[in-house]
C-alpha cells in the first residue's frame, strides 16, 4: 500500500507553500525508499512553484536536491542496502533504451526523462519532490553519497553541483585552461571549486567585489567586477571557457568578447527572456555559444566522488520547513551564501 508522508507544497502560483501530506508508492522490486534528511532549495523550485516556466498542476511538492538514508529496498535491488547514505537529483526515470540513455546521458532521453517533481511517473501519477519526509525511487536513479561528504552539504550537489560539473568536464576544464565563472551564487560557488580542483585557472566575474574574499577562498585565482567599465577591455580574449551561472539576462556579445580563439561560453543559468547576439561576436575568433542541462546518473556519481576526493562541498544555510517561503524571497533577492537546505525533520 502507498505510504502517507508529511510534505510542504505549492498550491498555486501566488500563494505561499503550506504543510500537507502526500502518498508515496509502495516499494516495488527495483525500488528504494529513502528517508529524506535534507533537501536543497534551487531557483528552479521557485520558478516552478510560481508558474514562471508555464502552467503547473497544483499542488506540487518541490525539491530535487535530496539527501537521505535508505529505509527499505525492493526484493531485486542489488546496489543499495538499508542505512546507505544516498541522494536523488533532478531526474528519477527515463526510457533507458534510447542511445542517449544507453551512453549515460539520461538528461537527453529521446522520450523525455521523468523529473523529480512536476513530471509524470511510469505509473501515470505526478511526481512529487524532496520537501517531504520520504521518497521512493527506482535504484537506477539513486546516487551514493560518499562518507566524507555530510548530508546537508551534499544535497545541493545533486543539482547545483552537477549542473556546473557537466559543462566543465564536457568543454575540457583542466590544467592549462582559463575558466571564467559569471556570478558567485549557488551555481557559481560550486563552479569555482570544481574548476579549480580540475586544475584550471579560475576568474570570477561578478557585478561587484563584495564577494571577492569568498571567491578567492573557494579557489579563484582572479576576481573582477563587471560593473567596472574597463573590465571587459582588460579581459578581452582571455578565456578558453566562460560558464555563465546567472539567470538574469546579460549582454551576450560583451561576454563573448572575453573568449580566446576557439573558446566557448556556456549558459547554465536560464534567463527569463530570450537573448540575442551579433554573429560577428562568434566568427571573429571562431568562438561558440552553448548551454548545458544537468548531467546523467553516471556523471553525477562521478561528480560526487570527485567532490569527496577533493574536499568540495556546497556552502549552505540550513533552515526549517517553516522558513521555506522566507527562503524563496531571499533567493530571489540574492540574499543567501550560497544555498538554502531544508532540514526535513522540521516538517510539521
**Domain ranges in the chain?**
3-159+313-346, 161-291
pLDDT in tens, 115-154: 999 999 878 899 999 999 999 999 999 999 999 999 999 9
> Is 3-159+313-346 a domain of CATH 3.90.180.10?
yes
Residue 341 φ then ψ, to 5°: -130, 125
CA distance 334 to 196: 24
Torsion angle in degrees (nearest 10) through CA of 46, 320, 151, 295: 0
Residue 1 has pLDDT above 70, yes or no: no
* CB-count exposure of residue 6 (10 Å: 0-12, 13-18, 19+): middle
Res 122: pLDDT: 79
3-159+313-346 and 161-291 share one CATH topology? no
pLDDT in tens, 184-211: 999 999 999 999 999 999 999 999 999 9
Share of the chain above pLDDT 70, in %: 99
Domain spanning 161-291 has what CATH number?
3.40.50.720
Res 348: pLDDT: 66
Amino acid at each position: 500500500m502507498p505510504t502517507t508522508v508529511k510534505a510542504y507544497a505549492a498550491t498555486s502560483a501566488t500563494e505561499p507553500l503550506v504543510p500537507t501530506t502526500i502518498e508515496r508508492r509502495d516499494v516495488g522490486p527495483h525500488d528504494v525508499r529513502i528517508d529524506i534528511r535534507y533537501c536543497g532549495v534551487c531557483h528552479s523550485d521557485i520558478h516552478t512553484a510560481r508558474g514562471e516556466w508555464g502552467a503547473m498542476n497544483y499542488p506540487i511538492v518541490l525539491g530535487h536536491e535530496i539527501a537521505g538514508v535508505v529505509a527499505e529496498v525492493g526484493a531485486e535491488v542489488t546496489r543499495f542496502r538499508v542505512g546507505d547514505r544516498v541522494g536523488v537529483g533532478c531526474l528519477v526515470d527515463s526510457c533507458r533504451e534510447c542511445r542517449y540513455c544507453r551512453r549515460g546521458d539520461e538528461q537527453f532521453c529521446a522520450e523525455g526523462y521523468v523529473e523529480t517533481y512536476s513530471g509524470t511517473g511510469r505509473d501515470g501519477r505526478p511526481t512529487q519532490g524532496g520537501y517531504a519526509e520520504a521518497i521512493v525511487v527506482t535504484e537506477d536513479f539513486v546516487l551514493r553519497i560518499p562518507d566524507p561528504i555530510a548530508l546537508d552539504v551534499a544535497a545541493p550537489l545533486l543539482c547545483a553541483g552537477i549542473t556546473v560539473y557537466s559543462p566543465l568536464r564536457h568543454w575540457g576544464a583542466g590544467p592549462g585552461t582559463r575558466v571564467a565563472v559569471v556570478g558567485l551564487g549557488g551555481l557559481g560557488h560550486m563552479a569555482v571549486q570544481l574548476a579549480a580542483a580540475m586544475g584550471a585557472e579560475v576568474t570570477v566575474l561578478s557585478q561587484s567585489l563584495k564577494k571577492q574574499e569568498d571567491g578567492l577562498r573557494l579557489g579563484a585565482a582572479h576576481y573582477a567586477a563587471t560593473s567596472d567599465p574597463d573590465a571587459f577591455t582588460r579581459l578581452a580574449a582571455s578565456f578558453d571557457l566562460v560558464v555563465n551561472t546567472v539567470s538574469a539576462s546579460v549582454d551576450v556579445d560583451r561576454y563573448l568578447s572575453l573568449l580566446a580563439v576557439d573558446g566557448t561560453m556556456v549558459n547554465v543559468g536560464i534567463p527569463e527572456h530570450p537573448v540575442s547576439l551579433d554573429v560577428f561576436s562568434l566568427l571573429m575568433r571562431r568562438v561558440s555559444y552553448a548551454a548545458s542541462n544537468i548531467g546523467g546518473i553516471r556523471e553525477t556519481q562521478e561528480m560526487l566522488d570527485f567532490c569527496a576526493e577533493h574536499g568540495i562541498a556546497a556552502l549552505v544555510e540550513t533552515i526549517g520547513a517553516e522558513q521555506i517561503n522566507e527562503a524563496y524571497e531571499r533567493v530571489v533577492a540574492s540574499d543567501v551564501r550560497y544555498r538554502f537546505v531544508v532540514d526535513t525533520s522540521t516538517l510539521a
